[in-house]
């Protein structure tokens, strides 16, 4: 059996990591003897022809795709392309979006055959086994499937045993492209969330009871990730600091092995302490992200956040004292939001900024499966759109009785304009030699990411990076200079910046040229 797993398009502005969930699925399938490939449209350009070519070359029996709400439309487009190419391929979709609206999705899109509910590793392996035997899907727990004209659910499967999962099959991921784009790489040390925030489905996806991986195995994996030379590793647990003993055990093992790498994690303001944060810092943690959401205590109670503002202030102070950068996210447009509560939150974020906090604002997106969507009327929310592509949390799709879409959008656009002015200020000071190295790096790195992404998604290296090889040896610098000249007209960039970006990519091991079949051929280093 052959299974093709697909990562649909996702905006680079959202700082995507190599798809860890698909790597876990791939590892489980490989362990079961299934041949697997991963097609990643986050770092490769999507076209129907790209899907068709992959299907004809690999000839999969099953195509599985993941999605969140924001990129569901992109995922279903791939499913349609698959069925148009070969109607006999079994099409499967998983992820938080379809987990909570699977029946509606299958009813609306006949090209989709099966929805996998919740955690998918055990379910997908069983699904492939049953499909290979051409047996009835009713024997598979954890799916919704189409049979004839009916749609049937087999209920939710029990949560997986994390200790039985193989290490994610990252060898199937184009890690080099993510590294070239300056994206982080991620790992999880636990699953589950014991908290009940009404805007989140984490508890429903991973369970209310926390499950933890063995710290030794976690650090074995971290030690491997450290060899891949990503600039940062993200511990992507919903809540890394949920269990003090687990958190400290991971940190102690990193310290014991004398590993050196930068990493980040997510936490709650009521689950950190000086002991934990100083230990995390000693183990290499350089940033912790908190969801504070609002500065209004009534709103925090409405959304079942379970934190207080003094706890938020204390957490920020503890982070700065430990030498860790605290980051906070705020959600605007929550139940009970008024102009006065918006001002409270904005003022509070500025107060924390003076203490060393960096923060970001998102607008409430009522995702399928959340309590806030299911009981939107009770919460006093008006949902303005069911176009899933608008669920990116950067423009308003809900209103409260006292706060309009325009009011929310204006706040976020002001924040975006402030950020653009900040970057423009750095640029102007760079031109006069007045920036620090750290300030300059922010802009240089951002411009480099934008340029590399443009080169990748327009396949400019692939189209213009090959020419007849010279009869005699040529210095590497001359080969790079020729590449710059050949592609300069294809990008909106000054030639010296293009050269610096490509040179940096070569130095980092993300771009290379090879001599074969009488050709000089440049290529991205996709697989590490």
- Condensed to tens digits (0 to 9), the pLDDT of residues 60-96 reads 999 999 999 999 999 999 999 999 999 999 999 999 9
Ranges for all domains in the chain classified under CATH 3.20.20.70: 184-403
User: Three-state SS for 362?
Assistant: strand
CA distance 123 to 157: 8
- Which of left, alpha, beta for 475 (phi over 0: left; psi -120 to 50: alpha)? beta
At residue 183, does pLDDT exceed 90?
A: yes
At residue 471, does pLDDT exceed 90?
A: no
Which residues touch 226 (CB under 8 Å, ≥6 apart)?
Answer: 233, 259, 260, 261
Ranges for all domains in the chain classified under CATH 1.10.10: 458-524
CATH number of the domain at 2-153, out of 3.40.1160.10, 3.40.50.280, 3.90.76.10, 3.40.50.2000?
A: 3.40.50.280
Asked if 211 and 190 count as a contact pair (C-beta separation under 8 A), the reply is yes
CA distance 229 to 465: 25
Ranges for all domains in the chain classified under CATH 3.40.50.280: 2-153
At residue 55, does pLDDT exceed 90?
A: yes
At residue 149, does pLDDT exceed 90?
A: no
Give pLDDT tens digits for 190-222.
Answer: 999 999 999 999 999 999 999 999 999 999 999
Banded pLDDT at 473 (limits 50, 70, 90):
confident
The pLDDT value recorded for residue 470 is: 86
CA distance 174 to 39: 9
Radius of gyration of the chain (CA): 24
Q: What is the dihedral of CA 492, 497, 502, 504, to 10 degrees?
A: -150
At residue 113, does pLDDT exceed 90?
A: yes
CA distance 460 to 477: 20
More confident call, 474 vs 86: 86
At residue 276, does pLDDT exceed 90?
A: yes
Give pLDDT tens digits for 150-175.
Answer: 999 999 999 999 999 999 999 999 99
CATH number of the domain at 184-403, out of 1.20.1050.10, 3.40.630.10, 3.30.70.1350, 3.20.20.70?
A: 3.20.20.70
Mean pLDDT of all residues in the chain? Answer: 96
CATH number of 458-524: 1.10.10
Give pLDDT tens digits for 409-432.
Answer: 999 999 999 999 999 999 999 989
Q: Which two tokens stand for residue 254?
A: 């990193």
The pLDDT value recorded for residue 299 is: 98
N-to-C CA span, the chain: 26
Which residues touch 467 (CB under 8 Å, ≥6 apart)?
Answer: 482, 486, 519, 520
Angle between helices 20-31 and 121-133 (to 10 degrees): 50
The pLDDT value recorded for residue 452 is: 97
User: What's the whole-number mean pLDDT along residues 269-273?
Assistant: 97
At residue 472, does pLDDT exceed 90?
A: no
Distances in whole angstroms, Cα of residue 22 to Cα of each of 65, 360, 411: 8, 28, 36
CA distance 25 to 450: 30
**Nearest-CA neighbor of 200 among 293, 308, 269?**
293
DSSP state of 488: G
Asked if 399 and 405 count as a contact pair (C-beta separation under 8 A), the reply is yes
């Amino acid at each position: 059996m052959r299974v093709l797993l697909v990562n649909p398009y996702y905006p680079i502005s959202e700082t995507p990591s190599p798809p860890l969930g698909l790597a876990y699925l791939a590892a489980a399938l490989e362990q079961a003897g299934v041949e697997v490939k991963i097609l990643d449209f986050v770092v490769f350009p999507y076209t129907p022809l790209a899907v068709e070519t992959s299907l004809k070359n690999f000839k999969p029996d099953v195509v599985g795709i993941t999605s969140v709400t924001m990129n569901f439309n992109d995922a279903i487009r791939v499913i349609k392309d698959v069925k148009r190419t070969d109607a006999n391929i079994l099409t499967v979709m998983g992820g938080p979006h379809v987990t909570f609206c699977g029946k509606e999705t299958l009813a609306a899109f006949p090209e989709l055959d099966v929805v996998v509910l919740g955690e998918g590793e055990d379910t997908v392996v069983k699904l492939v086994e049953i499909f290979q035997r051409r047996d009835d899907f009713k024997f598979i727990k954890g799916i919704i499937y189409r049979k004839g004209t009916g749609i049937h659910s087999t209920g939710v499967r029990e949560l997986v045993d994390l200790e039985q999962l193989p290490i994610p099959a990252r060898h199937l991921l184009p890690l080099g492209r993510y590294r070239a784009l300056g994206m982080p790489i991620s790992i999880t040390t636990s699953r589950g969330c014991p908290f009940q925030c009404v805007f989140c489905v984490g508890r429903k996806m991973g369970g209310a009871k926390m499950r933890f991986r063995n710290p030794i195995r976690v650090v074995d994996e971290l030690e491997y990730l450290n060899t891949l030379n990503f600039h940062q590793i993200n511990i992507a647990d919903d809540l890394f600091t949920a269990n003090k003993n687990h958190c400290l055990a991971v940190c102690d093992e990193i310290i014991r092995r004398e590993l050196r790498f930068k990493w980040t994690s997510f936490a709650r303001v009521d689950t950190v302490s000086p002991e934990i944060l100083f230990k995390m810092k000693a183990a290499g943690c350089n940033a912790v992200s908190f969801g504070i959401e609002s500065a209004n205590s009534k709103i925090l109670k409405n959304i079942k956040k379970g934190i207080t503002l003094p706890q938020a202030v204390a957490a920020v102070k503890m982070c700065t004292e430990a030498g860790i950068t605290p980051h906070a996210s705020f959600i605007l447009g929550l139940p009970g939001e008024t102009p006065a509560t918006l001002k409270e939150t904005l003022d509070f974020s500025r107060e924390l900024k003076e203490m060393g906090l960096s923060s970001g604002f998102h607008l409430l997106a009522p995702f399928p499966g959340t309590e806030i969507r299911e009981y939107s009327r009770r919460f006093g929310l008006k949902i303005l759109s069911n176009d899933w592509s608008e669920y990116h949390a950067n423009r308003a799709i809900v209103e409260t009785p006292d706060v309009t879409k325009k009011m929310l959008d204006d706040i976020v656009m002001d924040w975006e304009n402030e950020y653009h002015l900040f970057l423009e200020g750095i640029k102007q000071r760079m031109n006069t030699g007045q920036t620090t190295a750290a300030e300059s790096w922010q802009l240089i790195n951002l411009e480099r990411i934008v340029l590399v992404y443009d080169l990748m998604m327009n396949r400019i290296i692939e189209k213009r990076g090959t020419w007849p090889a010279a009869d005699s040896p040529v210095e590497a610098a001359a080969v790079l200079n020729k590449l710059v000249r050949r592609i300069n007209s294809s990008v909106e960039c000054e030639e010296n910046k293009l050269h610096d970006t490509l040179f940096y990519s070569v130095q980092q091991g993300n771009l290379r040229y090879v001599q074969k079949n009488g050709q000089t051929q440049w290529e991205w280093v996709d697989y590490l």
